[in-house]
Amino acid sequence: MYKLLLILSFFVTGSLMNAQFFSDQTLQQSVLQLNNAKTENDYDTLFSKFSEAKTSEKWQANYYAAAALYLKTNFLLKNSPNSPLGESNETARKLAMQALASEKNNGEVNILLGLIHFQKIRIKTAADPQKELKTATSFMTKAETTVKNNPRLSFLKAEMAEKQGNKTEAIKFYQKAVK
């Protein structure tokens, strides 16, 4: 009887570990799909995959769910500027903050939060744009201490330089981001 229970517990443990591995693998495959998303539906599908992922690295699932919403909002800003964008931006911010709570001083998460706060200014949902700009700058500064030569950081710097009217510096940072 004990032998049967022991064998059964090994099967249950093994299947749970296999399910966890499968989810981590699925998460990584979805990350690769994020670069190829071209429609609002693509971003929604990826957001669902990330937000529902049962993974050992929940902060990564939150980070990529936030990134999918950030990218979706950018897509809609370019292609459907009259659609409501505030809700997806706010949800992205909340998910990124959850990721940051798990991964303190993570440069990538700080960059994403800087981009999200700057996006809030661009979509005109910021009650106080100067406060959002300071918050974005704060996350950018934190990211600079841990991440060097990051294209997303260069892109954030370019966006901020452009917003402040410094087109020469913005072009420099955009070119650095492309490299």
How far, in Å, CA of 84 to CA of 8, rounded?
52
First to last CA, the chain: 64
Tokens 């991964």, residue? Answer: 103
The pTM of the full predicted model, rounded to 2 decimals, is 0.83
List the pLDDT tens digit at each of the 179 positions of the chain: 433 333 333 443 343 334 444 356 766 777 778 888 899 999 999 999 998 888 888 999 999 999 999 999 999 999 987 888 999 999 999 999 999 999 988 999 999 999 999 999 999 988 899 999 999 999 999 999 999 889 999 999 999 999 889 999 999 999 988 98
Contacts of 34 (CB under 8 A, 6+ apart): 46, 64, 67, 68, 71
Q: CA angle, 138 as apex, 133 and 141 as ends, to 5°?
A: 125
User: What is the SS3 assignment for 109?
Assistant: helix
